[in-house]
Structure 1
Amino acid sequence: MDARLSASLLAGLVFLLHGYTAWAVVEVSMEDRVEVFKGDTAQISCMFTSDDGIGGLTIQWFYVLRTGEKQKIYYQDATMQVVDRNTQFTDRIMVNVTAATGEVVLTIANVQLKDQLEFICLIKSLTDGVSEGRTKLLVFERPNSPTIEGVETGVFANEDSPSKIGSCEVKNGFPKPNITWYRNYTPLRVSDGVKVVASTTIESSGLFSVRSELSLKVMKEDKDAQFYCEVTYLVPGGTRMTETNPINITVYYPSTAVHVWVESPKGKIKEGDSIIFNCHGNGNMPSSVFVKHGTTEYEVESNMLVLENVTRLQSGDYECISMDMNTYEELSGNTTVFVNYLDPVVVLPSYVEMAQGEERTATCNALSSLQTHTAWFKDGQEVSTGHILMLKDVTFDTAGTYKCVVTVPEIDGMEKMATLQVHVKGAPEIIKPEHTDIEESVSSTVDLTCHVRGFPAPSVIWTTTDGKILETTSQTEMDDGVHSMVSVEVTSDLTAFCNASNEYGADALAYNIKAIQAATAIPPEKIRKESNGVIIVVIIICILLLAILGSVLYFLYKKGKICGRSGKQDLTKEKSGKDNIVVEMKSDTEDAVLLGVNGEKLPSSNQ
């Protein structure tokens, strides 16, 4: 009975298995590609459908070798999960299976360039249903910032063949970056006038470095052109772009004209100025440039010529000549320069001696290329304008130094001057100081000054009342006379005399010095200024003292202690109930008279 039952069950199972094989099929789907940056983590998903449970499936992962063969890296069934040994993924992969969603995920950590391969997900059911899917893993690396270098030498325009402009380089990108050249924001395409040579280097890291060189048939217009490179590179999910800084190139092209002008000074030029010429052609070609003035040639550096401290002899035409160093052809341009001048001032006469009351004229002239203005100054003040100076009714005040200043109003700072020295003859005249009476303490020293006008310069001698000659401390001759000073040591009252004389006469001045014993002498003028204030203070103090004295006397009177005659006798009389006694002191008779309450005199016997 049991044997028959077992045979029946086995036959049924075989039937069921044959029926399942007819309709049970595993299906797998995967993305075409998975993109990731180098060093990141990649996740490759394998979606499957199967009527078998997860325990009835065998899951395997492979990658495709460069030869096309498959290399297994992972195996899983109902009983085990195995990562294959000795592959490049052994230590970096992990597989997760989600039965509910039918998803198998292969995770690869720290993706490297060599991981850019095709991966196979193979799923097999117990009923021999097998399906697989394939995904390519793409790895990316951003390149370094690109660099650009222009040619260091200039480029000649209108050459028959392209000239090298510069090179661009971008390093360490994956996949290989692309370089495009631009001129003024317009991409340059390879043509007869444009040549681009690119080279690629695979670094030891497996990354790509690209270098591109641009050659171009340069035109004159390229002197202001900007050249730069655009680098494009792939990243996961798209494309990125970066640019270099723009560069300019030096373009050599021949001149068609030469220009020369005075850069400085602006406006009119005067003797002593520095002239700066700007001299160059309108081309940009290696050339020799010089300036010619008469038979004199000046070398031009950096298109500039500087002539310092010019004179009127440097007026005239200046020719700027530019010679092409390739063709030796010359071009020139011209400019005219005029250097204005102002000759030295001539004053006639420049020295004059006059008697008091006389009249005299002086003239002042200076030759100039421009209109001039003439003015006369004395002691910093303008005293006359015009070429002629009139001196009338001269006095000692007229004597002195007169400056004739000639200016050119059209040019700032263009002026010259000369002087006229005027001496007025006459007897000495001492200018009396404000104070000649001086008080000084004994043993001090006082400085006395004496200003004497007159011409010829007076002789000054200092003396005292006893005929002693004092030694002069200093003596200075001035335009109108002499200034003399002497130092006197005060030992007692003294009178010092300033004696001045010349061939026309003499004059004298006396200083009265009073010697005082005070530690500090007060100058007379200070005494006078302070005397009024001192007197007022003394009066106030006296009034206060009198008031105090009166109060004391009244107090003593009340106490009955006022003395009698001449202060020698005491008044000791008792006060009566009705009489009050007042003592009247008379200084002329020294008698004391007793007065009654009503002012009546008492008999002398009552005293």
Structure 2
Amino acid sequence: MDNFRSMALPNTSLLLFVLHMCALAWQAWALVDLRMEDSVEVYMDESAEIPCLYAFTEKPMMVMVQWFVREREGHRVRISYSDLTMQKVDENTSYSNRISVRSNSDGETLTIQDVKLSDEREFFCQVSGLAAGNGEGRTLLKVFDPPEPPVIDGVLSGVSVSGDSPAKIASCETREGFPKPNITWYRDHIPIHPISGLVNVVTLVTKESSGLYTVQSELHYKVTKEDKDAHFSCEVSYFVPGAVRTSESKGINITVHYLDPAVVVPKDSEVMLKGESLTATCNALSSLETSTVWFKDGIEVGRGHIMQLQDATFDTSGQYDCEVTVPSLPGLLTSGSVHIIVQGAPQMKDAEREIELMEKVGGWVNLSCEVGGYPRPAITWSITGSQSQSWREVVKRETEDQVHSVVMLKVTTDTVAVCNSTNDFGIETKTYSIRSIPFSQTPTARKTSADNSGVIIVVIIVSILLLAILGSVFYFLYKKGKLPCGRSGKQEITKEKTNKEDIVVEMKAKKTEESVLLKGVNGEKKPPNDQSSALSS
């Protein structure tokens, strides 16, 4: 049997060669009409039938039919052969166990079982009727596998209407389809098409190891407040044999975190009198809970939608800005402002108080006057004492409700300078009293002269006391006879002899001197009787 088979194969090949040569000789006038479908479509895992129909213009002596498949590399591989004597499936191919061939009077039909994705390729049918003619046709087998239904997810955190560019609002996914499915987005069942700056669709296609496709799509959309009630959905379209089918997801609502422009009351600006109170509000319509913060000159001055201004002063004046935010959605912000103006009479530091200064003659002093008020006060200087040409204003700064003036004054004499500030609500003044010091006299010199005068007075008093004490001592010595006095005394020392007359004269002289001395010391006059008594004695 084996020998017979080994002999049969060469004989078969030889027969085919001979028949082929004969066919070439006759094909010039013998024809075969061969018809195949351009494509055959089938679901994966099902069976596919590829017909090959043929008819000869002249009845052939025999017919040979061969089936081929194109491999991925591009070359063709035979998978089946039949003639008048046999019909066989070639061994050791990827189709050896999955195909069968059925013949009839019109031709043959190739059946492929358990179709796989890899079966999507070209199949060739080659027919030879020898002298009756030969021909070849091909059919593309298309394989389909519907994807899973689409799954849609909305952005949970919500989307802001104030974004500068489209933001992601939802994603849609469909898995394991073949060929690649497509995803279309809808708003209230109306297709959404990409629009620059408004709508953008980002698609990611993944080919699994099985050869099936998974498609993910993100919808980036610039939402408006009107979108808060809209329904968004995605639809998957996919091919099936002979048709296109669709599968739509459920509809979702997106959370639109819109924040309307802030509304501030009072609007723009508000004028109030000094001492008054004011309530300001700042609100913004939002789809979520909001938070409000108030600022003045960049410094936080309050929280909440309401700001109370009590007992207004000039420091209350200024611009107040409010910022409204959505805590659950950072970056969503709106703001507003109000300008507060406080009216009142001028107000200055050290008003109604006289400021005393001292400066030497010829010296210069700077006098400052800073005042607040609204309407803005006007400042004038009134200077008396010094010459009018001896002072000038060197600084003048003004704001909406503040004025600062500085004058430079040369002191020539005692001077009084008054800063007068006035507006529609009143007047306020500030006074400088400047005492001039002569150039040659300083406070230190005057103090020294006073001290010297005191020392002189003390010296005079001490001298008088010393003189009084000295006089008392002389008198005491004289009374005791310890102190000689007058011309007679001198004579007693020089003369050795005396007579009676001399004694009388001496006694008189002594009494006279004693009376004079007592009168000078005690300040009293002795009566004449006392003097005569003294002389008698």
**What is the TM-score with the length of structure 2 in the denominator?**
0.46
Higher relative contact order (CA 8 A, sep 6+): 2
If you compute each CA radius of gyration, which structure gives the higher value, 1 or 2? 2
More helix by share: 2
